[in-house]
Each structure stands twice: as structure tokens, then as C-alpha cells.
């Protein structure tokens, strides 16, 4: 099958961002993509750079306006769409949520981001309640997809539990970049760490990994965040099959072979050799 990655650069215009996402999905589908993933919170600029109550107005219900638009698009193109949205669950209760829309337009389900960061210019704890739906896998027309979101990508536990539910692919809609003041000293190491940890999830679990980032500078011209793009797809051995550029939007469509999963997992039988009888302490915060 073919997997589509839509790397985007956002503007202040919500409708323009949505139209760019729709155009990206159409372009990927025209190239043969059957499962297509958009970046984290693609409808707007990355608003978590500040703590501002006005930004809660960006949230919407699920199902809601965006799921309706993208469900119609999925149905028209007969593709699976993974879309990251700012969910308003109730007054004062908001989530960073990814939805999976099947190729007939059905809302298969949603995943609420479990790990919520609180770092300079990434003040997500102000906006998002941690997810309460657990780690999930969604059966779509083409494959079983696991969806995690951005900060989740640093946690082997999240990838493992999703893979153990039967995921063929792990999708990570993402918004990550450099603080410009840190880029010269730390930029290469930060990006390499980000890429390496995700590739390692594919190796440890014998599955494909799809990470879809945004690109471009957002926020204070003298500071802000320079999103580093470089969306990528890696195979069950951790080999990168495709990678987007740093500084521009991109549509990537890449073939994968699900038969690779069984071959990888039988030749590198990590799931077989797990010592599940010895891992009870993993649920402790720290072992003193």
C-alpha cells in the first residue's frame, strides 16, 4: 500500500490552513496514497507558545465541523485520513486529539494525547487535559493503525502498548522545532534524538513509523519556534524510506509492504522473548 505524509506550513488564516490540508490530502491521494496523515494541530498556528485564554476559541467538538469536512473528503477519495484537532469536550475540558477517518468517511475513533509537555514555548498543560482513552489501534480498510501525538513519541511504553494491540503502523502527528537561540549549539543533537527515538520504536516493535511535522517559523520574529520539518517514514528495521525537507511544505507518498512485519518479527523476535513476568515495576514512578 501507499502512505501519504502531508508536511505543512501554517498561517494565521484558519480556513487557508484547512484548505491547504485538503489540497495536501488530494495531492497525496492523486499519487496513490491510501492512508494520509496531517501534522499536529494543523488548523492554526501552534498557539501553545503562550498561555492565552483566547486560544480556547480554536477548539471544536468531535464529531464536529472539521471531522465532517475531512470525512467527506475521505469518502470522496476513498482514503484513510489521520487528522489532529483541538477538541472541546466540555466547558473547561479540552484535549489534543487525533481522529481516524476510514475510506468510507466513517469516524473509526479518536486518540487523546496522553503525554502533555510543559516546556518554554510548548505550554500544552495550560490547554490540554491528558488523554483518558488509553493507547488504541484502529482497524481501517487498509491496515491497523496506531496513532500517538508528538510528545508521546519520546515514550517507549506508548509505542509498545500500541504495538501490542496489533498496530501495523505507528503514526505521530507532530509539531516540534528549534528555539532559534539554541539551534546552533543543540539543533543537530535535538533533531537526531527525535528521529532516533522514533526509529527505535519501529525496531523494538517490528512496525512502520510515520512522523508528520510542520515547517516554518512561528511566533516572535526574534524568538519563537522554527519547526524543523523533516517528516519521515521508517520501516520495521528502522530504515528511513522517505524524508521531507527542513524548510518547506512537502507531500510524500511511499510504498510499504505489510508482509515485512511478520518477517521482521520472526527474524528479530523481540515480542516472543519479552519477560512479561519481570516487568511489574514499570508502573512505578521511580525505583528507589
Q: Measured between alpha carbons, how far is 251 from 24 in angstroms, rounded to an integer?
A: 7
Rounded alpha-carbon distances, angstroms, from residue 118 to 59, 115, 179, 230, 242: 19, 10, 15, 23, 30
Q: Are 193 and 227 in contact (CB under 8 A)?
A: no
Phi, psi at 80, each rounded to 5°? -90, 135
Q: Are 37 and 69 in contact (CB under 8 A)?
A: no
Q: Which residues pair with 201 in a beta bridge?
A: none
Active site residue 110: no
Q: Are 267 and 238 in contact (CB under 8 A)?
A: no
Q: Measured between alpha carbons, how far is 135 from 205 in angstroms, rounded to an integer?
A: 15
What three-state secondary structure class fits 97?
strand
CB-based contacts of 255, cutoff 8 Å, min separation 6: 1, 2, 3
Q: Which of 113, 124, 218, 243 is catalytic?
A: 113
Q: Which residues pair with 3 in a beta bridge?
A: 35, 254
Q: Which of 37, 40, 48, 124 is catalytic?
A: 40
Active site residue 150: yes
Q: Are 131 and 114 in contact (CB under 8 A)?
A: yes
Phi, psi at 114, each rounded to 5°? -90, -45
Q: Measured between alpha carbons, how far is 247 from 257 in angstroms, rounded to an integer?
A: 29
HSE at residue 190, side-chain half, CA atoms within 13 A, is 15
Q: Which of 37, 48, 150, 207 is catalytic?
A: 150
Catalytic residues: 40, 113, 150
Amino acid at each position: 500500500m501507499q502512505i501519504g505524509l502531508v508536511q505543512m506550513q501554517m498561517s494565521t488564516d484558519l480556513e487557508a490552513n484547512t484548505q491547504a490540508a485538503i489540497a495536501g490530502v488530494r495531492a497525496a491521494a492523486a499519487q496513490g496514497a491510501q492512508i494520509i496523515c496531517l501534522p499536529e494541530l494543523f488548523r492554526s498556528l501552534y498557539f501553545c507558545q503562550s498561555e492565552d485564554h483566547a486560544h480556547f476559541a480554536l477548539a471544536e467538538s468531535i464529531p464536529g465541523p472539521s471531522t465532517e469536512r475531512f470525512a467527506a473528503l475521505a469518502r470522496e477519495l476513498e482514503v484513510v485520513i489521520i487528522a489532529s484537532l483541538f477538541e472541546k469536550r466540555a466547558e473547561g475540558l479540552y484535549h489534543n486529539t487525533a481522529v481516524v477517518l476510514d475510506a468510507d468517511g466513517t469516524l473509526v475513533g479518536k486518540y487523546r494525547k496522553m503525554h502533555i509537555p510543559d516546556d518554554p514555548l510548548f505550554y500544552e498543560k495550560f490547554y490540554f487535559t491528558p488523554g483518558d482513552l488509553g493507547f488504541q489501534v484502529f482497524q481501517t480498510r487498509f491496515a491497523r493503525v496506531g496513532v500517538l501525538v508528538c510528545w508521546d513519541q519520546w515514550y517507549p511504553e506508548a509505542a509498545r502498548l500500541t504495538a501490542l494491540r496489533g498496530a501495523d503502523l505507528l503514526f505521530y502527528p507532530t509539531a516540534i522545532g528549534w528555539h532559534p537561540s539554541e539551534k546552533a549549539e543543540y539543533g543537530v543533537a535535538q533533531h537526531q534524538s527525535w528521529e532516533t527515538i522514533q526509529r527505535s520504536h519501529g525496531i523494538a516493535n517490528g512496525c512502520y513509523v510515520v512522523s508528520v511535522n510542520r515547517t516554518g517559523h512561528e511566533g516572535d520574529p526574534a524568538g519563537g519556534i522554527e519547526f524543523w520539518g523533516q517528516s519521515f517514514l521508517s520501516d520495521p528495521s528502522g530504515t528511513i524510506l522517505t524524508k521531507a525537507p527542513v524548510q518547506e511544505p512537502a507531500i510524500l507518498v511511499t510504498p510499504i509492504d505489510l508482509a515485512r512485519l511478520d518477517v521482521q518479527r520472526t527474524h528479530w523476535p523481540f515480542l516472543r522473548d519479552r519477560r512479561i513476568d519481570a516487568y511489574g515495576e514499570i508502573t512505578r514512578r521511580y525505583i528507589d
